Homo-oligomer: A and B are copies of this chain.
């Protein structure tokens, strides 16, 4: 049962704007999301290209103009999001509200603070906005179940990762004593870094044991690491398997309350479950 949205003759322009920007049940709302998705991806590609050396000056100029066009679009979108909601503070101080601001502001700030590439790199956070758009797409069910499994096994994996870290600090100290500075184990922090690189099976090879005893200990660390990599996997497997038996499925639509910005409403919901706002907009 779709929410009764089609009798839009009674709606104000704010309500219409809210439907377009925040929701994806109407054709215009869907089109808006697709355009936004493309613009975010384009702007990320532009941010990445900007950092590449050796392009022609014309390309940098083009990237600069494109960046301004996208930023102005995002600015209008940010303002529209504030205007179309009844309690703007609910949006402004929400996770996505802050992300939206952080990914729009840096370019304007370059007028006042010059040469701050760190500031411009904040724009990479724009990428997080994709999750808001995808959330209201067909992956909604998958993401939720996945998020649940990760959340359930989170505490156990944290305990495990902490134990791995303690192990790395102790083994790193041992390797510092065994190998010494000639092999690249210059200090205990560097040795701990090496131990993490080894135990997680990344193995850059920028630092590698050179003495027979060091190689023996390294081999033992690897064999142990091979055994303990199984632990977090086992935890998630078990959690995911047990979280699979969900009692019943609820159809969630893309409506967002125009008063308090709460989302994930059920299809049959007529009032916002958080603030009581009428979702039918009659």
Query: Which residues does A use to contact B, with CB under 8 Å?
Result: 44, 47-53, 117-118, 121, 124-125, 127-128, 130-131, 134, 139, 142-143, 145-146, 149-150, 153, 155-157, 159-162, 164-166, 169-170, 173-174, 176-177, 186-190, 192-193, 196-206, 208, 212, 215-216, 218-219, 222-223, 225-227, 229-242, 244
Closest to A125 in B: B170
With contacts A177-B117, A204-B203 taken as known, whether A244 is within 8 angstroms of B244 at the C-beta atoms is: no
Whole-angstrom distance from the CB of A255 to the nearest CB of chain B?
A: 22
Whole-angstrom distance from the CB of A60 to the nearest CB of chain B?
A: 13
Q: Using Cβ atoms and an 8 Å threshold, which residues of chain B touch A204?
A: 203-205, 208
Contact assessment for A187 and B51 in the assembled complex, using a CB-CB cutoff below 8 Å = yes
Report 5 cross-chain contacts, Cβ distance below 8 Å, ordered by A residue. Answer: A127-B166, A131-B166, A139-B155, A165-B223, A193-B215
Contacts A160-B227, A226-B229 aside, 4 further interface pairs with beta carbons under 8 A come to A157-B227, A164-B223, A193-B216, A197-B218
Contact assessment for A188 and B227 in the assembled complex, using a CB-CB cutoff below 8 Å = no
Q: Using Cβ atoms and an 8 Å threshold, which residues of chain B touch A49?
A: 189
Q: Using Cβ atoms and an 8 Å threshold, which residues of chain B touch A52?
A: 186-189
**Which of the residues B48, B212, B222 comes within 8 Å of A197, measured between beta carbons?**
B222
Whole-angstrom distance from the CB of A124 to the nearest CB of chain B?
A: 4
Q: How far is the CA of A208 from the CA of B204 in the complex (A)?
A: 7
Whole-angstrom distance from the CB of A136 to the nearest CB of chain B?
A: 14
Q: Using Cβ atoms and an 8 Å threshold, which residues of chain B touch A134?
A: 162
Q: How far is the CA of A202 from the CA of B195 in the complex (A)?
A: 11
Q: How far is the CA of A162 from the CA of B232 in the complex (A)?
A: 21
Whole-angstrom distance from the CB of A204 to the nearest CB of chain B?
A: 4
Contact assessment for B234 and A149 in the assembled complex, using a CB-CB cutoff below 8 Å = yes
Contact assessment for B190 and A215 in the assembled complex, using a CB-CB cutoff below 8 Å = yes
**Which of the residues B142, B192, B200, B231 comes within 8 Å of A146, measured between beta carbons?**
B231
Closest to A45 in B: B189
Contact assessment for A53 and B233 in the assembled complex, using a CB-CB cutoff below 8 Å = no
**Which of the residues B157, B200, B240 comes within 8 Å of A222, measured between beta carbons?**
B200
Contact assessment for B161 and A226 in the assembled complex, using a CB-CB cutoff below 8 Å = yes
Contact assessment for A156 and B145 in the assembled complex, using a CB-CB cutoff below 8 Å = yes
**Which of the residues B150, B176, B205 comes within 8 Å of A231, measured between beta carbons?**
B150
Contact assessment for A196 and B208 in the assembled complex, using a CB-CB cutoff below 8 Å = no
Closest to A118 in B: B177
Whole-angstrom distance from the CB of A14 to the nearest CB of chain B?
A: 32
Contact assessment for A229 and B229 in the assembled complex, using a CB-CB cutoff below 8 Å = yes
With contacts A232-B230, A240-B238 taken as known, whether A48 is within 8 angstroms of B157 at the C-beta atoms is: no
